[in-house]
Chains A and B, each alone.
Chain A
């Protein structure tokens, strides 16, 4: 898998901003990706050293579509801890 297929987008939220203080960066990643793949993708994409990766699968939520409730897709969130001192600046716009 290509590294850009693994990392879908950075999550830029209040919570993610707070985590940056602990050298942690948050991404949405491919559902099929595992921690090892995320680690190598982030290291290559941003030229940083990753020391830890936590992943969570966020279950899709029930949303109404007309008369029926349909689930939105589940997705995978990865919280990547970098070596202290390394930083990531996001280029894509918010």
Chain B
């Protein structure tokens, strides 16, 4: 009665043949259902004899109806009989009408073989935060706080000048500004190469006329290669002044002393480096496991993931739904979907590996764990009452548990691939080669 055959990508071709008496029963039911709807002249609705109904609307209609009723039942039975666990709805195709034979392509649970995942080793590549890093970070902060201070001395490179400029080419004014702020950059191209060099050394109040040759490849072809006569008056020379390194500067950022600021910058950099290293480590660990094992899943799953990604993307760009997003985007849907495919693939593979890993490592989240986590989350929020209500929702609890599970699995993954003791997770040194195998129990 049932034939089934496993084909690649975790699909099953299920052939279901329906026995005669079942078919007749279904046909009878189908007739009784359909007769209520068809209008045969000479008969009230629901009163026409079967033969006439068949003649009137065609036998096929009744057969199709019967099949529709028949299939779910037969499908269920076939699944139980062969112990098949479908992941998604099957793709059904009617192979033969009489007697009916169905061909169902059933996507199966993904098959994940982690391989020898405990043997996967990844070296942590963490950029160590040096004093130079800290100094340059602090320099960037100072740069952002820089102020321009007037100075009584000739202009130097790096200074800012407040200028009146009048430039002409063949009596045609190309530039006329009063009181513009201009940064003298050595070798600068603006507005004309050589301009900064020409005014360097001038002091406040000084005026100067000079000619510069426009470059041959000037963006305005009519002016290229011509002589430019510039009349420049320096109103004021200004120097960029960075805030003094010290407690004063730290106070502007809300720190009591410069050392505290420096410490904070250092620890920020460190935690960022640690985070990056961890992400990279997890990435390569997952890649390693994927390379060593096999992950098979039906393509239908990938399509669904692409759907998810697509709606995520639409939401990210601020569209209410995918349709609106597609309307605005220039690219056809098919192309967008294809572009998302590799990402969807990786996401599925990673997700499957992680969930399999969680099972393999026996990572379980208890109700108490969830409660603790919820208390933690409550601690961070202002509106505790509302948060508590929200977190009490079963779906929210479920998602909290899910996240907890993922993060613990990730922790475990990190400790496996770096051969760390499972409990010493926050350890940051790289490439430690502890000789003892990680323990199996938690």
Q: Render A1-34 as a binary contact track against B, CB cut-off 8 A, 1 for contact.
A: 0000000000111101100000000000000000
By a CB distance below 8 angstroms, the chain A residues around B42 are 11-14, 16, 94
By a CB distance below 8 angstroms, the chain A residues around B52 are 12, 17, 94
By a CB distance below 8 angstroms, the chain B residues around A13 are 42-43
By a CB distance below 8 angstroms, the chain A residues around B59 are none
A64-94: which have CB < 8 Å to B?
A: 93-94
Chain B minimum-CB-distance residue to A11:
B42
- Count residues of chain A with CB under 8 A from any CB of chain B: 8
Q: Does B47 contact A (CB under 8 A)?
A: yes
How many of chain B's residues touch chain A, expressed as a range?
Answer: 10 to 19
Smallest beta-carbon distance B300→chain A, Å: 45
User: Dominant SS at the A interface?
Assistant: loop
Smallest beta-carbon distance A28→chain B, Å: 12
Q: Render B305-317 as a binary contact track against A, CB cut-off 8 A, 1 for contact.
A: 0000000000000
A12 to B42, CA, bound (A): 6
Chain B minimum-CB-distance residue to A14:
B43
A94-B40, A94-B41 are contacts. A14–B55 as well, Cβ < 8 Å?
no
Smallest beta-carbon distance A22→chain B, Å: 15
Smallest beta-carbon distance A5→chain B, Å: 23
Chain A minimum-CB-distance residue to B44:
A14
Smallest beta-carbon distance A91→chain B, Å: 11
Q: Does B49 contact A (CB under 8 A)?
A: yes
By a CB distance below 8 angstroms, the chain B residues around A17 are 43, 48-49, 52
A12-B42, A13-B42, A14-B42 are contacts. A94–B55 as well, Cβ < 8 Å?
yes
Asked if A93 and B55 sit within 8 Å, CB to CB, the answer is: yes
By a CB distance below 8 angstroms, the chain B residues around A94 are 40-42, 52, 55-56
By a CB distance below 8 angstroms, the chain A residues around B44 are 14
6 new A-B contacts, CB < 8 A, other than A16-B42, A17-B43, are A13-B42, A13-B43, A14-B44, A17-B48, A94-B40, A94-B56
